[in-house]
Amino acid sequence: MKKLLNIRYFLIGLAMSFFAISCVDLEEEVFSDVTADNFFQTEEEFISALGQAYSSLGGLGNHSGLWSINELASDEITISTKGGDWFDGGVLLQLHQHEFLPDNPFFNNSWNFLYGGINTCNRLIFSFESLDNPNSPAFIAELRALRALYYYWAMDAFGNIPLVTSFTETEPPGTSSRTEIYNFILSELNEIIPLLPVAKDGTTYGRMTKWAALMIRMKLYLNAEVYTGTPQWALAAADAKEIINTGPYSLMPSYRDNFLINNSGSTENIFVYPYDKVFAGGFNWVMMTLHIASQSTFNLTQQPWNGYQTVEEFYNSYIDPVKNPGVQGPVWRGLALEQSEGTIDGRLSNFLVGPQFRSDGSLLEDPGVEPFDATGRNGDPNGTPITFMPYLNEIWPQGLRQAGARIGKYEFEMGGTNNMSNDFVVFRLSDAILSLAEAEFRLGNTTEALALVNQIRERAGNLDPFTTLTEENLLAERGREMYVEMTRRQDLIRFKKYGEAWWPFQGMNRPKRVHSPGSFLELFPIPEPQRLANPKLTQNPGYN
C-alpha cells in the first residue's frame, strides 16, 4: 500500500507533465483552466505536481546515463566488446579505460538527466513561491532538497558547473567553481533540513525527508577534501550519527532483502526511486546484464542484451583465500564457491555466476559460443552450456559472450518485462554506518571504526570480524557492501586509488593510461554539445 499510495500521485504528476508538454495548439477550445490559484489547494494536488520533479530520477536505472558513467569508470563494472556487439564506437572502452572525451554521448545524457531534474525543481519552486498557501513552504523545502541531490551528483561528476536557481532567467549561465557549488548545496541543506518531514511511512516513501537530506550533507562532508581541499570528517561523523542514532532505520536481517522485487518494506532503505514495470518504467538492469538466452531462465517477455559484467578482480574481493583455498582458479569460481558452504560472503548474492538453466530446470545453452582451442585464448572452455564466468579474457575486441559475473543485486522477476519493479535504492543505512566508520577512522578513533565495520560484516554472514582496520580493508568493505550503488568511483577518488597501475583492463590491447591521485581524470569533461549550446561554459582542465 505504501508504494501504491506514492505511485498514484506520481502518475498524476506525470500526466500533468505530459499535458503541459503536449498542449501547444493555442486555438484549442479550453474546457477547464488549471492554474496555481485553483489547483494547488490540497496536499494531494501539491504532491501530484511534485511527481514531475521526482520522475526525472527515472533515468537512474537505465543504460548510458549517470549510473553508467560512474560504474563503468570504476573498477566494478565493464562491458566487453563481444565480436560485433557492444563496441558502440568505442564510447564504453573510453569510460572504463579513462580515455574520456567531451563528445562521449554518455556524458551529455548524464548532464541532461541532472539539469532536467534541476530545471523542473526550479519551475515548481517558482510556482509554489507565488502562492499564498500554508502548504507551500514545506513543499518548497522538499524541492530544494531534491535539487540539492541533483546538484550534488552534478558537482561530483563534472565539478565546475553552472549554478541555476531561477526559472525565469533568460541569459545562459556561466560556470561556477566546484567550491561555489559545494557551498550552495551546503547552504541549502542547512536551511531546509529542519523543515523536512521525519516520518518513515507511506506519506514519505520515495520522497525527500530530513534523513535523505542528511545523507546528502554527510556525503558532502565525507568528500569535502576532494571537493574543496579542506577535510570535514567530524561534521560527516555528526550527520552519520544523527541518521544512525535518531533516524527510524535499522539494518535488515538479510542484505538481499533490500533489493527484492517488493522491497518497499525495507527498514534500511532511506531514499529510493519507486520503479514499477507498468506505471514507472526505466529500470532495465535485467536487459543490460543478462545473456540473450537468459530470457528462458526467467521467462522474460524480451531478450536481454548481454552487456554489463563485473570486473573479475572486484568479484574476487568477496572471496576469503584463507577459508577458500584453491578457489582463485584461472577460469571461473561459481561451482567452487557453491561447494564451500559456510565459508563465503553472503553478499555474493550480488552476482549471477555458474551454469544457467531454463525455467524448467534444463541446462541453458548458447549455440553461438566461441570455440575453445588448446591455447585457452580464443574461446570459452565451458563450451555451449551457458556458464557465467567471473573470468574476463579481454574487453576488446573479442570478449567472451559468457564471461563476467552478471549483476544480480536486484531480484529478477519470473515472467518479467524489460522494466523492473524493484525500487531503486539511492541511500541506505549501511552506507551511513560505513561512512561513520571511515570518519572515525580518519579522526583516529579506530576502536569505534572497527566495531562499525564489523557490524556490517556480521550482517553479511559467514565472515570473521576484522581484528584491525586499515585503509585497504575499509575501502574493500565499502566496495563489497555498496556494489553498483553508484558510490565506488567516488570512494576510489577519496581513498586516492582511482586509476592506479593495478587498474583492471585499463590498457588491454592499448597502452596503459595510469594516473595519479588528483589527476584531471577525476572529473568528467563538460559535454561538448552543452558547450556548443552555451559558449559561457568553461571546459574542465585537461580536456581542451
Per-residue pLDDT tens digits for 336-358: 344 344 457 999 999 999 999 99
Confidence of residue 22 (pLDDT cuts 50, 70, 90): very low
Residue among 425, 145, 117 at smallest CA distance from 274: 425
- Sign of the Cα torsion 474, 479, 481, 487 reads positive
Q: Which of 2-16, 336-350, 362-376, 477-491 comes out lowest in average pLDDT?
A: 2-16
* pLDDT at residue 14 greater than cutoff 90: no
Those residues with Cβ within 8 angstroms of residue 354's Cβ, 6 or more apart along the chain or in another chain? 332, 334, 335, 338, 387, 388
Q: Domain for residue 261, yes or no?
A: yes
Q: Are 71 and 27 in contact (CB under 8 A)?
A: no
Q: Which residue has the higher pLDDT, 534 or 30?
A: 534
Residue among 141, 140, 135 at smallest CA distance from 45: 135
CA atoms within 13 A on the CB side of 79: 27
Q: Domain for residue 374, yes or no?
A: no
Q: Are 185 and 151 in contact (CB under 8 A)?
A: yes
* pLDDT at residue 217 greater than cutoff 60: yes
Structural domain containing residue 234: 2-19+37-275
Confidence of residue 46 (pLDDT cuts 50, 70, 90): confident
Phi and psi angles of residue 445, each rounded to the nearest 5 degrees, phi first: -90, 70
Confidence of residue 158 (pLDDT cuts 50, 70, 90): very high
Q: In the prediction, which pLDDT does 338 show?
A: 42
Q: Which of 107-116, 326-335, 359-368, 451-460 comes out lowest in average pLDDT?
A: 326-335
CATH number at residue 269: 1.25.40.390
Q: In the prediction, which pLDDT does 207 show?
A: 97
Calculate mean pLDDT across residues 96-103.
93
Those residues with Cβ within 8 angstroms of residue 410's Cβ, 6 or more apart along the chain or in another chain? 259, 260, 261, 283, 285, 420, 422
* pLDDT at residue 330 greater than cutoff 50: no
CA atoms within 13 A on the CB side of 470: 4
* pLDDT at residue 201 greater than cutoff 70: yes
Q: How far apart are CA 18 and CA 37, in angstroms?
A: 21
Instruction: Provide the mean pLDDT of the chain.
Output: 88
Q: Domain for residue 42, yes or no?
A: yes
Q: Domain for residue 249, yes or no?
A: yes
CB atoms closer than 10 angstroms to residue 361: 6
Residue among 359, 342, 355, 249 at smallest CA distance from 295: 359
Confidence of residue 132 (pLDDT cuts 50, 70, 90): confident
User: pTM of the full predicted structure?
Assistant: 0.91
Q: Is 345 helix (H, G, I), strand (E, B) or coil?
A: coil
Confidence of residue 31 (pLDDT cuts 50, 70, 90): very low
Confidence of residue 322 (pLDDT cuts 50, 70, 90): low
pLDDT digits 0-9 by tens, 249-305: 999 999 999 999 999 999 999 999 999 999 999 999 999 999 999 999 999 999 999
Calculate mean pLDDT across residues 15-31.
39
CB atoms closer than 10 angstroms to residue 295: 19
pLDDT digits 0-9 by tens, 61-94: 999 999 999 999 999 999 999 989 999 999 999 9
Read off the C-alpha cell for 366: 548458447
* pLDDT at residue 24 greater than cutoff 50: no
Most confident of the ranges 27-41, 195-209, 315-329, 393-407: 195-209
* pLDDT at residue 16 greater than cutoff 60: no
pLDDT digits 0-9 by tens, 386-397: 999 998 888 888
Please state the domain count of the chain. Answer: 1
Q: Which residue has the higher pLDDT, 489 or 502?
A: 489
Q: In the prediction, which pLDDT does 42 show?
A: 76
Q: Domain for residue 177, yes or no?
A: yes
Q: In the prediction, which pLDDT does 34 show?
A: 43
Q: How far apart are CA 527 and CA 100, in angstroms?
A: 10
* pLDDT at residue 507 greater than cutoff 90: no
Read off the C-alpha cell for 17: 507533465
Confidence of residue 416 (pLDDT cuts 50, 70, 90): very high
Q: Domain for residue 310, yes or no?
A: no
Q: Domain for residue 340, yes or no?
A: no
Q: Long-range contacts: 79-82, Cβ < 8 Å, 24+?
A: 79/307, 79/308, 79/309, 79/395, 80/309, 80/392, 80/394, 80/395, 80/396, 80/399, 80/400, 80/403, 80/404, 81/395, 81/396, 81/397, 81/398, 81/399, 82/306, 82/398, 82/399, 82/400, 82/401
Q: In the prediction, which pLDDT does 127 show?
A: 92
Q: How far apart are CA 166 and CA 170, in angstroms?
A: 9
As a whole-number percent, the residues of the chain with pLDDT over 70 amount to 85
Q: How far apart are CA 173 and CA 455, in angstroms?
A: 46
Q: In the prediction, which pLDDT does 513 show?
A: 62
Confidence of residue 320 (pLDDT cuts 50, 70, 90): low
Confidence of residue 6 (pLDDT cuts 50, 70, 90): low
Q: How far apart are CA 481 and CA 431, in angstroms?
A: 8
Q: Domain for residue 107, yes or no?
A: yes
